[in-house]
Amino acid sequence: MNLQNKESSQNLIKTLVVLFFSLVAISFFLNLTSSYFQVKYWKERSNMPKIRQIPPFSLIRSDGVTITERELKGKVWVADLIYTHCPGPCSTESLRMSQLQSILGKLEGVRLVSISIDPEMDNAQALRKYAEGFHADPTFWYFLTGNSQSIQDFVFKGLALGMGENPQDKRQTEGRFYHSTQFVLIDQEGFIRKYYDGLNQKTPKDLSIDILLLLQEASKNNKGT
């Protein structure tokens, strides 16, 4: 091999070595950056302050069983407002709840709770029929009703959501009631931790992640005691 070819070969080797270590450095940097943003994402995601505590309540499940805050203590639960003859957003809300039920797969320590705001129309039979239409598992997804005052107290003072009756000229198109379409995430101690858009397609996925984070949070707290 002549001197020129030898130098060319050495330069090629040097170039390949430099390129190799450059790729290693870039790969390390990308992994480090990715890890940083993943940690940052999960820290931000798990930062769910305790907004307010649900006060005592007593409502009736579609099977006639009385449900109070004591029955849900120790569980993560998601609440929303519906009524069975709603011509507006209720069916979309219930579809999102059904999707959430499918994602969670009846996860132990979790419940879904839909509250009817029309106790006059939504008796036990009406609620059960409505629930069946969304394949609701009655042991996992509760449909609750009660007297008007109990429902209003729970909605206003407990969930901090809005609801009311529409004027007569709007009822034919918008239904008897208007109400918030927010989903409310409540932790094992009865504290509201987050609100979600109940009509958004991303909500079931987002909620399922945050539910798992709350379960993990409780697990860590229990280990620390």
Confidence of residue 28 (pLDDT cuts 50, 70, 90): low
Specify the CATH number for the domain of residue 138. Answer: 3.40.30.10
Domain around 40: 1-45
pLDDT at 190: 97
Residues 6+ apart with CB under 8 A from 192: 50, 51, 52, 53, 54, 159, 160, 184, 185, 186
Same domain for 8 and 83? no
Give the pLDDT of residue 149.
Answer: 95
Residue-level pLDDT at 80: 98
3 state SS for 160-198 = CCCEEECCHHHHHHHCCEEECCEEEEECCCCEEEEEEEC
Cα 147 from Cα 82, distance rounded (Å): 15
Amino acid at 217: E
Coil vs helix vs strand at 29: helix
Question: In total, how many domains does the chain have?
Answer: 2
Q: Are residues 200 and 159 both part of a single domain?
A: yes
**13 band by pLDDT with thresholds 50, 70 and 90:** low
> Which has more confidence, 8 or 96?
96
What digits encode the pLDDT tens for the residues 162-220? Answer: 999 888 888 877 788 889 999 999 999 999 999 999 999 999 999 999 999 999 886 66
pLDDT for the residue 38: 42
Same domain, 24 and 69: no
DSSP conformation class of 113 = E
Give the DSSP H or E segment for 143. Answer: strand 141-145
> Is 208 within 8 Å of 103 (Cβ atoms)?
yes
For residue 37, name the pLDDT band (cuts at 50, 70, 90): very low
Same domain, 85 and 16: no
At residue 43, the pLDDT reads 52
From 45, 60, 77, the end of a domain falls on: 45
Alpha-carbon distance of 128 to 12, in angstroms, equals 76
Do residues 111 and 75 make contact, with C-beta atoms less than 8 angstroms apart? yes
* 136 and 177 share one domain: yes
Do residues 70 and 95 both lie within one domain? yes
pLDDT band, residue 161 (cuts 50/70/90): very high
154 and 58 within one domain: yes
Do 164 and 135 share a domain, yes or no? yes
Does residue 61 sit in the same domain as residue 33? no
Can you tell me the mean pLDDT for 98-116?
95
3: pLDDT strictly greater than 80:
no
- Contact (Cβ atoms closer than 8 angstroms) between residue 156 and residue 180: no
Q: Is a pLDDT exceeding 90 seen at residue 138?
A: yes
On whether both 103 and 135 belong to a single domain, the answer is: yes
In the structure encoding, which two tokens stand for residue 177, read together? 């009631």
- List, for residues 139-158, the tens digit of each pLDDT value: 999 999 999 999 999 999 99
Q: Is the pLDDT of residue 39 over 60?
A: no
Local confidence band at 21 (pLDDT 50, 70, 90 cut-offs): low
User: Are 152 and 184 contained in the same domain?
Assistant: yes
- Give the model confidence (pLDDT) of 53-104 as tens digits: 999 999 999 999 999 999 999 999 999 999 999 998 999 999 999 999 999 9
* Average pLDDT estimate for 115-126: 95
Which whole-number Å values give the CA distances from 183 to 5, 24, 116, 198, 203, in the listed order? 73, 46, 14, 5, 9
87, 138: one domain: yes
